[in-house]
Amino acid sequence: DATLAEGAAQVLRDNDNGVILVAAPSLYPHQWSWDAAFITVGLARVSVPRALAELSWLLGAQWQTGMIPHIVFDAVDGYFPGPERWRTELSPNRPATPPTSGICQPPVHSLALAAIVEAARHGSAADRRAATEFVRDTLDQWLAWHEWLATVRDPDRTGLFEIHHSWESGMDNSPRWDAPYTRVTPGVMAPFVRRDLAHVEDATERPTDLDYRRYIWLVDQMASVRYDDADVQRVIDFRVSDVFSSALLALSSDVLAELADTVGRPDAADRLRVIAKRSRDGVAASVSPATGLARDRDVRTGEWLSTATVGGFAPLLCGGDPGLVSAQRELFLGPEWCGHPELRYAVPPTTSPADAAFHPRRYWRGPQWPVINWLFARAAVERGDDELAGLLRGESLRQLSDGSFSEYYHPLSGAALGSRNQSWTAAVALDWLG
Ligand code: DGY
């Protein structure tokens, strides 16, 4: 364990470019929003000031609308789509610098904030002061982020907020998005060259070329209306309520509300608890009576999207009705999920091996992702389910014992997939070992 922890800390040191921790050494040479949050959880175990600096940098790129962008670009080249394709300078809401993308990622940042506060509690007086001041000084910015999701992205207050690109879900090519993507039909567009395939061993570990045409088509559609929130909703070919991210908004809002209370901001805490409750109710209302899984919804057609993916376990993230949570827990540990007899490690595959859409190598279509395991473990702790948290921790650490800190893992063979020395994987390992 000491060797594994030392290896994880080394990955974080190596990926630190002096300003940010890049998400991965070559595949992702910039700061990604939810990566930065997970990375901060790990950094908090090493250095509270360094962890604060990571979140500060991200927050410095917040848009005037409240949105935290999914990529904050560093001055390097080598990633597509870079700033020249995003063209977010067209938006009056973007900060002047640094350049950013024009979409968001799941709201997990309060978990990072709470991890810093917790680490500081065991640290020096200076750490404690810095952490408390940071929470107090940035609270309104985090609140604006949550409120933007809960209002602009959920105009009808359904409790499920919508996304305009599957990159916003973080689960780019999950079968969750297959049906909505059939309705995304790229027209004439400027040519582009993918850069991601150069950084993995095998192209089947990444999304397909057709996926990428659709991804870039959506970017171009948003740029065509200068990333104006209302106009994007009017023109975009992809509008889907994301149940997994909405559950994360509920969990994060509860956690942020507790932090707001500690810095004497009951007004903010109240607003956050309203968001948490509405999101939790929205998640519960999405559960399919037939499968027991939570569902996304295509806003354009009104259709519920029933796929057997890990997104279906949203209620295990945000909690709620005890009957629902215990039924979900049983399903989660059962033979179609973590308990599937062919799995090498008992952590959730991103698509059930029992489902036709399952692909054991292709990115979010089957592989296991340590950060997802961490989220379920973190949420279990929040609910007081230490048994589930311990199980996920134990299995995840066995999976990570190869020391490659890979982006994702083959659920049947346990082989490392995607990028190696991925910052967020090293970060959650550090947290588990801490
Ligand atoms: C990528 O480039 O693969 C990312 O997931 C998009 O944010």
Ranges of each domain in the chain: 2-433
The answer, yes or no, to whether residue 195 has pLDDT greater than 90, is yes
CA 32 to chain centre: 10
Per-residue pLDDT reduced to its tens digit, 293-323: 999 999 999 999 999 999 999 999 999 999 9
Confidence of residue 87 (pLDDT cuts 50, 70, 90): very high
Give yes or no for residue 242 CB within 6 A of ligand 1: no
Q: 2-433 has which CATH code? A: 1.50.10.10
What is the atom index within ligand 1 of the atom nearest the CA of 207?
A: 3
Is residue 44 within 8 Å of 429, Cβ to Cβ?
A: no
The answer, yes or no, to whether residue 12 has pLDDT greater than 90, is yes
Q: Does ligand 1 have an atom closer than 6 angstroms to the CB of 172?
A: yes
Distance 426 CA to ligand 1 centre (A): 18
Q: Which residue has the tokens 């809960």?
A: 150
Rounded to the nearest whole angstrom, what is the distance from the C-alpha of residue 211 to the centroid of ligand 1? 12
Q: Which of 54, 298, 407, 431 is catalytic?
A: 407
Mean pLDDT (whole number) for 72-83? 92
Atom 7 (ligand 1) nearest CA? 167
How confident is the model at residue 91, as a pLDDT? 98
Cβ burial of 95 (10 Å; 0-12, 13-18, 19+) is middle
407 noted as active-site residue: yes
23's tokens: 């998400």
Q: Helix axis angle, 243-262 relative to 109-121, nearest 10°?
A: 40
Rounded CA gap, 71 and 82, in Å? 9
Q: What is this model's ipTM?
A: 0.90
Q: Residue 43 above 90 pLDDT? A: yes
Q: What is the pLDDT of residue 172?
A: 97
| Catalytic residue of the set 172, 211, 385, 395 | 172
pLDDT at 223 over 90: yes
Residues 6+ apart with CB under 8 A from 344: 399, 410, 411, 412, 413, 414
Q: Which atom of ligand 1 is nearest to the CA of 70?
A: 7
Ligand 1, atom 4: nearest CA belongs to which residue?
A: 167
CB of 167 shorter than 6 A to ligand 1:
yes
CA distance between the termini of the chain? 10
- pLDDT, residue 101, reads 98
Mean pLDDT of the chain: 97
Does residue 407 line the site of ligand 1, with CB under 6 A? Answer: no
How does DSSP classify residue 20? -
The pLDDT assigned to 299 comes to: 98
Between the CA of 203 and the centroid of ligand 1 the distance, in Å, is 14
The Å distance, Cα 242 to ligand 1 centre, comes to 17
pTM of the model: 0.98
Q: Is 264 exposed, middle or buried (0-12, 13-18, 19+ CB in 10 A)?
A: exposed
Judged by DSSP in three states, 309 sits in strand
pLDDT at 378 over 90: yes
| Three-state DSSP class for residue 174 | coil
CB-ligand 1 contact for 35 (6 Å cutoff)? no
Task: Pick the atom of ligand 1 nearest to 215's CA.
Answer: 6
Residue 77 has pLDDT above 90, yes or no: no
Which regions of 141-219 does DSSP assign to beta strands (E)? 162-163
Q: What share of the chain is helix, strand, coil (3-state, %, to 5)?
A: 55, 5, 40
CA of 307 to the centre of ligand 1 (A): 22
- CB of 207 closer than 8 Å to CB of 172: yes
Residue 78's pLDDT band, with cuts at 50, 70 and 90, is confident
**424-430: average pLDDT:** 98
Residue 76 has pLDDT above 90, yes or no: no
118 is catalytic: no
In ligand 1, the atom with minimum distance to the C-alpha of 32 is 7
Dist CA 420 CA 417 (whole Å):
8
Q: pLDDT per residue over 133-179, tens digit each?
A: 999 999 999 999 999 999 999 999 999 999 999 999 999 999 999 99
pLDDT score of 75: 87
How far is ligand 1, taken at its centre, from the CA of residue 336, in Å? Answer: 28
Query: What mean pLDDT is predicted for residues 207-227?
Result: 97
What pairs with residue 368 in β-bridges? 409
Looking at ligand 1, which atom is closest to the CA of residue 101? 7
